[in-house]
Structure 1
Amino acid sequence: MANISIVLHDLRGGGAEKMMVRLANQLAENGDSVEMILLTGGGVNKPFLSDSVTLIELNAARTLSAFSPLRKRLKQSNPDGILSALTHVNVIASLVCASLGWLKRLSVSERNTFSLDRKVNNGAVMKATYAIAPFIYRFLTNPVIAVSKGVADDLVDCSVVRQKDVCTASNPVITKETLEAAKQDAKHPWLIEKEVKTIVAVGRLSDQKGFDMLIDAFSLVLNERNARLVIFGEGELREDLQNKIEQLDITQSVDLAGYTDNPIAEIKQADLFVLSSRFEGSPNVLVEAMSVGCKVVAFDCPSGPLEILDGGNIAPLVEYKNVPELAKAMLAELATENNQMNRDRILGAVTRFSAQNSAQEYRRLIFSQSNNNSILG
């Protein structure tokens, strides 16, 4: 077994943080000695970290000031393998490992579509980070681990990174905990006692998630049949989205339900899950919806849905940003029952996203360049 350090900024409520917690937990359960190093500290995902994982919070004021405390901690723990996630953390981790002569021990992970993600992270420091990161990636010993082929291809297409500089690994979306969570009851009244077919979406109320387009598409659905839409999540666009709902006069059929601590239980009771994102890396919530056999519809956004839905063979994959086509796909899915054969097909499409499979993939990649082959045993 091996000593593994996972480096993150913090454990806020994002998908990357959630997936790294699940990965750390599974690696520790499998017998590795795992520590989670946070450049700052805290976050809503902190309680979900297993007691078997050592948590180190450096409490740095910002990423740039984390260089010395991160270097000191890594030197102290002397891990066999190091995994960092998110672009700005990857840059500082690379610089620290280079200063220690440990680049062979480092693997970095890109979690989102790089060309689009850098556009929304447009502060001066982040611009510089996104500019320098591809040059660092090109000269790392180990390839960048992307969460999907789409993310890997985008990184190559939009930067100096070469195809040989990237690889992919599945996210650890499905765990024993998510399977147990799915057994719990839904809490939203529209899902407890469904009077009509009910659609669910989950995510931050931000431009990336495309809920404005989903609401427009749902208003077209209501022209054809009675239904309801519940969107779980919070974010900066709540007021704008609520105004849109009111302007379309569909307040009786759409609910911005806020944050839920167990989205998978809500999704399980829905008739349809919709992913309307403008971009993703690998949409974990889509996999979660499929892991409970829920019918799904998704935009063919960059990146992830194309791979997860096998080009539309598993479930409808709608032309990117085509709102009328999204409405048509939603109507078609609502008109058919979700029989057991369809549920089995949906479930089978996401087995590779189990935490056990993901941990094996990441572990193999982290130690692929290791001089100590026994670590892989």
Structure 2
Amino acid sequence: MARIVIILQDLGGGGAEKMMVRLANQLVEDGDEVSMLLLMAGGENLQWLNPRVNLLEICATRSVKALPTLRRWLKQLQPNAVLSALTHVNVISILACASLGWLARLSVSERNTFSLDRGVNSNWQVRTAYAVAPLLYRLLKKPVIAVSKGVAMDLVASAHINAKQVTTAPNPVIHHDWLVQARAASHHPWLQNKTTKVIVAMGRLVPQKGFDWLIEAFAKLALQQNCRLVVFGEGPLRAELTKQAAILGVADRVDFPGYSSNPLAEIRVADLFVLSSRFEGSPNALVEAMALGTPVVAFDCPHGPREILADGQLAPLVDLGDVEGLYQAMLASLQLPISEQGRQRLVQGVSRFEAATATRHYRQLLLGA
């Protein structure tokens, strides 16, 4: 048994937070003593955290203000290994561990395409973190953990880090609790009582997710196919995307219901899942859809979809930004029913993302052989 601390800003609704919860849950099930240390507090993913995980919330108003308390907690916990996720949190964690002489205990994780992600946040503290992170990463004794090969290659190229200082580990997406959640009933009326084909997408309503492209492609599709589109998520582009759907004449066929408390139950009964992102790290929702046997279509964005879809062998991979191509792929997927064999190919294609398998990989990186 090892003592492991996982450091995050909070347990908000993002993919990084969800994956760290699943990693922590699997580690405690495997017999480790795990503490989840939050620089702030709470979040949508808190409900999924195993009660056996020791939850510590610093409740700082800003990440940087959590540094003194973080240092004290780490000193008290005396972990064998520390894992930090997200760039700005990584910077705080490096400073805390360096002050304790613990850089050999620390592993940091990059969850998104570094060169693109650093430009989407206007907060000066986050921008500063992205500027200094590459310098601090070179001080680490353990390699930076990237969520995909594409993220790793981008980190080497854009942050000028030696390739030997970067490694990859799959996200622990598929957990047995996940299967229980997936079997629950859908809450969305279009999916509860389906009278037509329903397409599902998921993510924050921000430019990165490319929902403007998806709505444009769907408007073309709606001229050929009786179908509906549900986009689960919340964000600053809600009004703009709603207006776009109205202008294109599909407002009655597109719904933005906000975050789902159980997105797996919605994806499971959908006829198609679409990933329209401009960039990603390793899109967990795409893996979840495939693990449920739901047909998928994805843009070939940097990074993750090409690796997950085996260069397009498992499902259609559309050139980034090709709205016509996305429409054609969606139409073909809806018109050609997937076989049980096809569903099993999708499920088997993402087996490396099973929590037990991915956690063994993480544990080896954190603690050594």
2:146 match: 146
Structure 1 residues 344-377: Cα deviation after superposition (integer angstroms, max 9, x where no partner) = 1000011111111111010000113xxxxxxx5x
2:255 match: 255
Shift of 1:23: 0.4
Structure 1 residues 171-209: Cα deviation after superposition (integer angstroms, max 9, x where no partner) = 111111111111111122221222222111111111111
Structure 1 residues 255-307: Cα deviation after superposition (integer angstroms, max 9, x where no partner) = 12222111111111111100001111110001111111000000001111010
CA distance in 1, matches of 2:26, 2:270: 29
Structure 1 residues 80-139: Cα deviation after superposition (integer angstroms, max 9, x where no partner) = 000000001111111111111111100000011101110012322222110110111122
CA distance in 2, matches of 1:86, 1:154: 15
Alignment of 1:130-141 (within 5 A): 130-141=130-141
2:59 match: 59
Q: Quick check: 239-248 or 121-130, which moved more?
A: 121-130
Structure 1 residues 203-255: Cα deviation after superposition (integer angstroms, max 9, x where no partner) = 11111111110000001112222211111111111100100011011122211
1:76 match: 76
2:195 match: 195
SS in 2 for 1:171: coil
CA distance in 2, matches of 1:117, 1:19: 18
1:175 maps to 2:175: yes
CA distance in 2, matches of 1:269, 1:42: 30
Is the 1:138–1:160 contact (alpha carbons within 8 Å) kept by the matching residues of 2? no
1:335 maps to 2:335: yes
Structure 1 residues 135-168: Cα deviation after superposition (integer angstroms, max 9, x where no partner) = 1112210000011111111111111211111001
User: Which residue identity is paired with 2:202?
Assistant: V
Is the 1:135–1:160 contact (alpha carbons within 8 Å) kept by the matching residues of 2? no
CA distance in 1, matches of 2:214, 2:238: 14
SS in 2 for 1:104: helix
CA distance in 2, matches of 1:73, 1:187: 40
1:373 match: none
Alignment of 1:263-274 (within 5 A): 263-274=263-274
User: Which residue identity is paired with 2:362?
Assistant: Y
Is the 1:202–1:233 contact (alpha carbons within 8 Å) kept by the matching residues of 2? yes
2:298 match: 298
1:26 match: 26
1:372 match: none
CA distance in 1, matches of 2:144, 2:15: 18
SS in 2 for 1:321: coil
Alignment of 1:297-376 (within 5 A): 297-368=297-368, 376=369
Q: Percent identity?
A: 56
CA distance in 2, matches of 1:160, 1:150: 15
1:47 match: 47
Shift of 1:48: 1.4
Is the 1:37–1:56 contact (alpha carbons within 8 Å) kept by the matching residues of 2? yes
CA distance in 2, matches of 1:121, 1:223: 37
CA distance in 1, matches of 2:70, 2:78: 12
CA distance in 1, matches of 2:212, 2:140: 40
Unaligned segments of structure 2, at least 5 residues: none
SS in 2 for 1:70: helix
SS in 2 for 1:108: strand
Shift of 1:61: 2.3
2:97 match: 97
Structure 1 residues 37-91: Cα deviation after superposition (integer angstroms, max 9, x where no partner) = 1111111211211111101111222111122111111111110000000001111
User: Which residue identity is paired with 1:110?
Assistant: E
CA distance in 2, matches of 1:13, 1:256: 16
1:15 match: 15
Q: Quick check: 56-65 or 80-89, which moved more?
A: 56-65
SS in 2 for 1:257: strand
CA distance in 2, matches of 1:124, 1:231: 30
CA distance in 2, matches of 1:197, 1:60: 46
Is the 1:41–1:59 contact (alpha carbons within 8 Å) kept by the matching residues of 2? yes
4+ runs deviating over 6 angstroms: none
User: Which residue identity is paired with 1:234?
Assistant: E
